[in-house]
Structure 1
């Protein structure tokens, strides 16, 4: 007992107790974090094995532009922190791998080696490099659970400047353009909002909540299924094509009317 009392009165005793307490707190915290938060790669891919397979595919098909470790090059940006959602969007829409670098990668059929499995694997690898937005679940993008009316208000406030009021798309500057949304799936629309591909800004959850995103998806999928009351939508581009058609048809009608009236007068004389 005397030895314990003497040890407690030693000048270094308080420091030893402090170090021991900090070590215990660190160990307990680490245990809780590992138990409650699986690796981002596992969350993105469904199984950790996908990361290794994804890296192999990445090195084979993507590293020539993005670098061996996805650090980016002068040709393509870094993918560290891009997230699985960005990979899923780019690969599922055929924009990546890009055949010819340009102002903007167009939507096209996916490459022959790209399917649901390989896309998931590459997405898992990219997610493991530094987190980022993950692929949304089916319940997050279900149009049936969204409010199309509210979604229309949000779409008109944030998107029609580029995508047109029905998502028909439009031209931007420097050779870029807002793509047509008619072919985009609900998942791809959600992924585009959270990742901001190419010229599109990022709409994170603090800007537009997940519920509001789902309502916007409901509006987009509903309005593109509507039939045009006039019978011909003229591409749904808006007043540009409508004005052009009105101008051409109107001028043609006036010219024909003038010719007809002149011909009638000549016959009478």
Structure 2
């Protein structure tokens, strides 16, 4: 991985969030933070509390960043995988992008068009056992008719989405409440997981039983005490017993035209 990907990401992050960026060259930038970004990144809660109390605008701070290849030529925070400030920026980006509301862009409709609401959840399924792996799912549920579709983000890749509803279109009122839709998606994913191959789980259990038998032999030969035996057994369970976890990465409410909604289901 080229080091400048961290620089490029940081530049794009601050541009999207409305910060003023001054670049001396392609590897060094000075960022004038917005008030929101200052509150998120600069750890000055008492200052901003005072500004709000006094009904004053306040003065956001500036930050300078540089690619790690630039050395000591310029002042600034080195941008590499272990930069604490970069990790903080990542976390802020995740928090700001956790929930969204977007609308399909409709150009020059000839009459008022109804927009179907969809709840879309992107999630990571983690399989842990003898071997570990992750699976990404993007599930959408139509809040009008209850239809569920996989690979939603891929299906929406070539559809222009905007933050404001287009002229002469209107969002339909959901027939399914968000809480119910969320639970339906989770139940759907749990059912889907039961259809997947379980060889990994069976191999994990076999390995756990094998390691447990070895541990019992050590215990019965008085090589380890009962307390130590239990600790080792607990560690084996953590390492080998199969388990599956579902973690929501992000999600949102997407309003799509009836035509697009129908195409997603075919």
TM-score w.r.t. length of structure 1: 0.21
Which structure has more relative contact order (CA 8 Å, sep 6+)? It is: 2
TM-score w.r.t. length of structure 2: 0.21
More helix by share: 1
